[in-house]
Amino acid sequence: MVLDSFSILALFGITIIVGYVGYLFFDKTRIPDVFWLIIFGLLIGPVFNLVDRALFVSISPFLAALALLIILFDAGINMDFYKMLRSFPRSIALAVVGIAISVTAVAAVSYYFIGLSLLYSVLLGIIVGSTSSEIAITIVKRLHMRESPKMIVTLESILTDPLVIVGAIVMLNLISHSAAQISPVQGVLSAFSIGAVIGLIAGLIWLFVLDKLKGRPFDYMLTLAVLFLLYVFVESASGSGAIAALAFGLVLGNGGAFSTMLRMKRRFGFSKLLRTFQNEVSFFIRAFFFVYLGIIVSVNTTYLIYGLAICGALILARLVAAQITMYKMHLTGSEKNMMRTMVPRGLAAAVLAQLPVAYGIPDAAIFSDLVFIVILGTVLYTTVATRLFYK
């Protein structure tokens, strides 16, 4: 079925309602709205064929970049700078250890059980190596516990996205022999540093601009325009646009803290009204992305068992990584369980699963088929585990 203007408007409206109802249900069911949104997408896409799948596939690069951009900007705005600094060592440790163990576990399952080549196995491990920031942040911020463990998991989920994105691109270049040789460590550090520095500088400049625009209309829309241009510029400069968006949002959301650190005479800040607008936009973009994910999937029962085996490997890898990271941390039982069970995969995995096709990798469809099962499986596991183990 080809979408007309009325069908698109109806899809937008129903998406918002499903996302909102799912958000309200979370308090009672512990099932994130992401699950209901994906199921809705499956029903109107592959199950009943009510929408044109090809249309949504064609906008995949744009929608994926937009969702990642808005979600990380939102995370930066809502992150307390001083709490982030206290949590950063544990967060980066959990991110690096978690990715390393996850890639190893998934690569082993893919190589010995599924029969993929070694390079394909490692690539698949990297693709699903990132904890979904959009899902983890949604779940964690609704749990009633201390801010410290919540900040560790939140920041870890944000840091893993650019790590696996850069790692996957390096691996794809290695497989396709289409790029100059570059050290993976150099690639990660370069992307992180470029994105962080430009994002911080842009954020500081924009604080001054917002102060001058105070009282004028449309300052939020102008901020979004700057965010989009910042993302494009940083990506063009071989940096991480995701990290730039995070740093930009972090500065705007912590204007008072940065004003104090830089010994400015005036204290700048991001107004409550702008935060409200940002929360509304973030909700819609995230909701529509997961409906879109359900629409474009091609359900393949052949790889169902393989996908579930990868889910099992990721769950075990998370248990090991969390146990290592929690060493000498004074946490309650609920806080430990939260860190152990936070394994959802989402946006980064869905986006990276499409890249092998773009790189002309043979038999690239297997990545999409497996990754979708992994996303659903890990989201379901995190939902059930949160329900059972969190008190």
Helices (H), the chain: 5-29, 33-42, 53-58, 60-77, 81-109, 118-127, 133-140, 147-176, 184-212, 219-236, 241-253, 255-261, 272-296, 304-325, 333-341, 347-352, 355-358, 365-389
**Residue range 327-372, pLDDT digits in tens:** 888 888 888 888 899 999 987 787 788 778 777 788 887 888 898 8
Rounded Cα distance, 28 and 21, in Å: 12
Q: Is the pLDDT of residue 75 over 90?
A: no
Query: How high is the pLDDT of residue 256?
Result: 75
Highest mean pLDDT among 19-28, 99-108, 294-303, 323-332: 99-108
CA dihedral 298, 299, 305, 310 (to 10 degrees): 40
Rounded Cα distance, 366 and 303, in Å: 8
Query: Considering the domain boundaries, does residue 254 fall inside one?
Result: yes
Query: How high is the pLDDT of residue 349?
Result: 87
Q: Is the pLDDT of residue 188 over 80?
A: no
Query: How high is the pLDDT of residue 310?
Result: 97
Q: Taking all residues of the chain, what is their mean pLDDT, rounded to a whole number?
A: 83
Contacts of 125 (CB under 8 A, 6+ apart): 102, 103, 104, 105, 106, 107, 110
Q: Which of 35-44, 62-71, 261-270, 341-350 is predicted with the least confidence, judged by mean pLDDT?
A: 261-270
pLDDT level of residue 155 (50, 70, 90 thresholds):
confident
Q: Which of 353, 348, 290, 339 is nearest to 162 (CA)?
A: 348
Q: Which of 223, 345, 207 is nearest to 281 (CA)?
A: 223
Q: Is the pLDDT of residue 391 over 80?
A: no
pLDDT level of residue 92 (50, 70, 90 thresholds):
confident
Q: Is the pLDDT of residue 378 over 90?
A: yes
Query: Considering the domain boundaries, does residue 6 fall inside one?
Result: no
Highest mean pLDDT among 208-222, 237-251, 302-316, 336-350: 302-316
Q: Which position has the higher pLDDT, 229 or 34?
A: 229
Rounded Cα distance, 37 and 70, in Å: 18
Q: What residue numbers bound the domain in which 104 lies? A: 60-278+301-389
Q: CB neighbours (10 Å) of residue 57?
A: 13
Domain count within the chain? 1
Residue 360 falls in which region: left (phi positive, over 0), alpha (psi -120 to 50) or beta = left
**Residue range 274-310, pLDDT digits in tens:** 778 888 888 888 788 778 878 877 777 777 899 999 9
Tokens read off for 127:
């693709």
Query: Considering the domain boundaries, does residue 295 fall inside one?
Result: no
Please state the rounded mean pLDDT for residues 164-182.
70
Query: Considering the domain boundaries, does residue 21 fall inside one?
Result: no
Query: Considering the domain boundaries, does residue 225 fall inside one?
Result: yes
Q: The domain spanning residue 124 has which CATH number?
A: 1.20.1530.20
Residue whose entry in the numeric block shows the structure tokens 């146990």: 323
pLDDT level of residue 177 (50, 70, 90 thresholds):
low
Please state the rounded mean pLDDT for residues 141-160.
82
Rounded Cα distance, 83 and 217, in Å: 32
Please state the rounded mean pLDDT for residues 174-199.
70
Q: Is the pLDDT of residue 2 over 70?
A: no
Q: Which position has the higher pLDDT, 50 or 272?
A: 50
Query: Considering the domain boundaries, does residue 44 fall inside one?
Result: no
Please state the rounded mean pLDDT for residues 116-126.
94
Rounded Cα distance, 69 and 202, in Å: 15
